[in-house]
Amino acid sequence: MTSAVKRKSKDHLATLKRGNLVFQWYGNFRFTALGLKTITQVKGPLQTKRGSKNARNENGILGNGAMGSALARAFLANKHTVTVWNRTASKCVPLEQAGAKVAHSVAEAAQASDVIVANVLNYTVSHALLQTPEVVNQLKGKVLVQLATGIPSEAREMETWAKQNGISYLDGAILDYPKGIGTKECLIIYAGPEAVFEANQSLLLL
């Protein structure tokens, strides 16, 4: 399988081509459909901003499945703090041993974090976890990065909800397997306000 990324300009949508074009269509449709300024995060030779001096925030990850755990480990490996929460608490134990803090509820994770990454099964689960008054209250003024796989309408809905609740929102698609997270070849595409991405790129450019 081959992959290539074409960047039209700094602020423009990346066109991703991987093997049989499925990802190219998906990336284009999802992110142009979002109607947001779109940002690309590109690993390897095209990545120019790694190592920039962002503020070191407190970070949280909701969902410690295969992918959420890989993200948490990559954050820790890059010396970012991480508070993790998972429905099945036992999955937090290896991450705690690796240096993560463990929250006992979504609200507690949100309270502990300036930037919170949601990486549960899908948007429906994210909605259920995030859209409670208690959690919304903790997320106000913070950054939510939604990395579950989904479709354009789900991304748009979550962005609208976040805006309505004073939450800065980035939507992302991980185009790799958990074992690729944190490697030079890993590709994650983010969409959302550029300033929010820029402020957090040292975390997001894993």
Ligand X SMILES: NC(=O)c1ccc[n+]([C@@H]2O[C@H](COP(=O)([O-])OP(=O)(O)OC[C@H]3O[C@@H](n4cnc5c(N)ncnc54)[C@H](OP(=O)(O)O)[C@@H]3O)[C@@H](O)[C@H]2O)c1
Binding site for ligand X (CB under 6 A): 63-68, 86-88, 91, 119-122, 125, 129, 148-149, 174, 177-178
Closer to ligand X by Cβ: residue 55 or 121: 121
Torsion angle (degrees, nearest 10) of CA 78, 178, 146, 108: -60
| Closest to ligand X by CB, 144 or 199 | 144
Residue whose CB is less far from ligand X, 9 or 88: 88
Task: Considering only the C-alpha atoms of the chain, give the largest distance between any 2 of them, rounded to a whole number of Å.
Answer: 45
182: left (phi over 0), alpha (psi -120 to 50) or beta: left
Closest distance of CB 121 from ligand X, Å:
4
| CB of 119 closer than 8 Å to CB of 70 | no
Nearer to ligand X, 49 or 91 (CB): 91
Distance CA 73, CA 159 (A): 27
Distance CA 36, CA 192 (A): 6
Nearest C-alpha neighbor of 120 from the set 145, 90, 151, 156: 145
Closest approach, Cβ 195 to ligand X, in A, equals 26
Q: What is the DSSP letter of 142?
A: S
The pair of three-digit structure tokens given for residue 68, joined into one six-digit string:
């959420």
Residues facing residue 188 across a β-bridge: 41, 174
Measure the CA–CA gap between 74 and 33, rounded to whole angstroms.
30
CB of 92 to ligand X, least distance (A): 9
Q: CB-wise, 28 or 149, nearer to ligand X?
A: 149
**Closer residue to ligand X, CB minimum distance, 145 or 199:** 145
CB of 67 to ligand X, least distance (A): 3
Closest approach of ligand X to the CB of residue 163, in Å: 22
Q: Considering the complex, what minimum distance in angstroms separates the CB of residue 51 from ligand X?
A: 25
Q: Which residue is nearest to ligand X (CB)?
A: 65
